[in-house]
Structure 1
Amino acid sequence: MGVVPGALDARGERLAGPVFTGVGLAALAACVVWGPGVRGTTLVFVVVTAVWLPLLIPLFPRRAAHPWLVAGYYAGVLAAAVVLVARDDTFMGFASFGYPLAFVLFPARWGFFAVAATATLSLLAADSEARSPTWVLVLSLAGPLLYAAWFVGAESEQRRKANVRLEAALEENASLHAQLVARAREAGMLDERQRLAREIHDTLTQGLTGIVTQLRAAEEADGPERDRRLELVRTLARDSLGEARRAVQALAPEPLVSARLPEALSELAARVAATSGIDVGCTVTGDPSPLLPELEVTLHRVAQEALANAEKHAKASRIGLTLSYSDEVVLLDVVDDGIGFRPGDRGEGTGFGLESMRRRVHRVAGTLSVESTPGGGTAVNAQVPAIRRGG
């Protein structure tokens, strides 16, 4: 058990009060036995001091919460030591008990002040004309100095060990940081591969599907209808080529390069209407201010995927696309009057298209919902935060 502040463990905290009380009582008893004769008023002060010392037992565990009680207790010990030394120099041995007590009760800074006060007051109270034993004088002068030196050394050793532990912890943290960086790099590579997969699915796959569909229709048509279908094939091929370049360069969808999101969605709706023969309408409400590019790309891709699904699977006669701006969120609704489906039966969330939409929206802190019933059509709703460009 040490007496350096903060060095006591749980067992030391339990034993320190009784141990220091026992040391104080032993020092007091030794001075009474070795003194020239203690009697009368001096004996009364000895008894009072012996009664005062055990108060340390209940006080010690609570010393941090009651600093003023600690100061009062130590002041009582110091006063008793000064009075006893003034009556008999032999009690300088008891006064030395105050040195270790000061450091165990007070923080280091105040402990030095308490030691200095104990040494100074005890020497001033001593009878300068009386001849004190040599061991008393040596203990009075060397005691506080030796104890202070020991205390400083012990505290320095504790700090050295703490620095060693800190260096070890820093090395361990550096190793963990390196591992986290490596894992983040791997996660980033995986995320980038998934992003490219989504880009290819949302652009090239849909474009090539449209080309194949129009070519099949052109084979069965002739005259102006055949020419119209081939022109649509050329348009889809050019758009797919542009989207492929944009996907490789990780840029926004081609329609968003030269147009704002509402215009890009209107163009998308017109293209789907032209290629599918479905009545596709596009409505914009609110203040259509430019959003962060990532938000606009996300909404455009969701609309693209939802329209493609409705075109391929819904057998709809009409599709409504609505873009709504508000102060806090931007909503995109794609509703068709097709055959609908039961989301559970079709494995909603497991298809690449729906999962692609869901991941895109979640990446920008948005939400996506798909509602459908057999014969009741399908509604896709995407909601993203309305973070304006430059905001």
Structure 2
Amino acid sequence: MTSWIRWQDSLWPSPGDGFRPWLGRIEKFLPYALLALSAVLSLALSGHDPAVTLALAGIAAVWLLLTSTLPPRRWAGHPVAVAVSFAGLVTIAAVLEGHDTIFLIFMITGFFEAMRLRPAPLALAGIFTVSALINTMPDGGPLRAFAEQPALWIVITLVQTAAVGGGGLASAAMARQHAERKRTLDELAAAHEENAVLQRQLLSQAREAGVLDERRRLSQEIHDTLAQGFTGIITQLEAADEANGDPVEWQRHVGSAMALARENLTAARRSVRALGPQPLATATLPDALDEVSRSWSGRTGVELRFATTGTARALHPEIEATLLRITQEALANVEKHADATIVGLTLSYMADQVTVDVRDDGRGFEPDTARPSGDGGFGVPGMRARVARLAGTLHVESEPGGGTAVSADLPAVALEVRP
């Protein structure tokens, strides 16, 4: 029963239905249009009394106004009101068709009214009634036609009822498919918007976490280099002050203090440069990784083969900066620990993911035993945490004597271009 009600609602919704509002307009004006067309053709082509034709057509128009057009929407759609409207309309249309066969054009309205009947069996009965009237009124009406040739008229009426009802079912199926597609698209759009919001939140959190990481790293570096350097400078200057009476010793301590000051200045400049991913300042990510590769290979003497796969495109700065940092850290680990002869670096762009792979043929290690490095770097756990902040993953495959492969996978969040 529920499916039949859905069929009826989808096939011929009320005028206020937002799903297919044009049907409401057809429902509202089609009966008047068919009545007017039938009346005009009858007056123009038939020899019936025009006054009777106009009077009957006027009664039909008044009935439409009273039962379909003027009543409030909540009343007009009530099952009882629909049944009364249908009964009166079909009766008047049958009288009009009996008066002039050409009014079978107006009788077509009965099919649309029958489809609004509730429950479904009543709608089928209404379609059957309209079919019987529209076919038999020119031959004296249904009583006479069914009495003289029952088999013929029953078959014709049943076939027409099945055709009209089948059209209703087909229309209902299309309506349900359309509604399902619309619902699915709405859900996808909502999910896409929610995902975009989550991605923005994730990137914001990752940026904040990255700032904290940089602060901790810079604090550690200041403690390990600059603070210790200044301590050394102060110590040398104090020693020079104590050796004021010995020019040679004084000069030695002052020279040591100056050397430490120069070293500290160099370390400070290096720390400032390390605050941001400098290679990305004026280059794309592939170009930046190529620059890092050539610089690293030239400094270490280790052969590095860099390749890019997929279609390169601009990504969110946080994504690109993280990939660059992971690459730099992985190469730093290779330089310090791997004793490798060949390193492979691959940047892969996919539909919704971007990946950096760093592979070497070095001595390898046990990944489960990896610990944060003590020299200001991130180590494997640190790299994994950095990637996880952006909803990515870090895979490390290694074994003693078998080399190491580090793969960082991140969502390919496109760069937002604002007008």
Same fold (TM over 0.5): no
TMscore range, shorter length = 0.3 to 0.5
